[in-house]
Amino acid sequence: MKLLTFVNLALTVILLLLVRKLVWCLRWLWCYHHGREVPEPISFLPQQSGRVFDRHVQDTERDGEV
């Protein structure tokens, strides 16, 4: 019974994180469509920021993979 409760809790947390990302995506699309400044990218996990993505893009450009 405890395992089922843990699985339900884990799935609920994952669902909330996905909903958070979906809301951000819809907001980004709305801003882009209306010509406004788009929000900064967010990661799947709340502790990280868009700087992680920016650093990845810079590393890729520096390596000449783009």
DSSP state string for 1-17: -HHHHHHHHHHHHHHHH
- 53/22: higher pLDDT: 22
Higher pLDDT, 1 or 26: 26
Query: Residue 33: pLDDT above 80?
Result: yes
- pLDDT tops 70 at residue 50: no
pTM value is: 0.62
Domain ranges of the chain: 2-62
Separation CA 53–CA 45 (nearest Å)? 12
Q: Residue 6 and residue 58: Cα distance in Å, rounded?
A: 39
Q: How confident is the model at residue 60 (pLDDT cuts 50, 70, 90)?
A: confident
List, in order, residues 6 or more apart from 37 with CB less than 8 Å away. Answer: 31
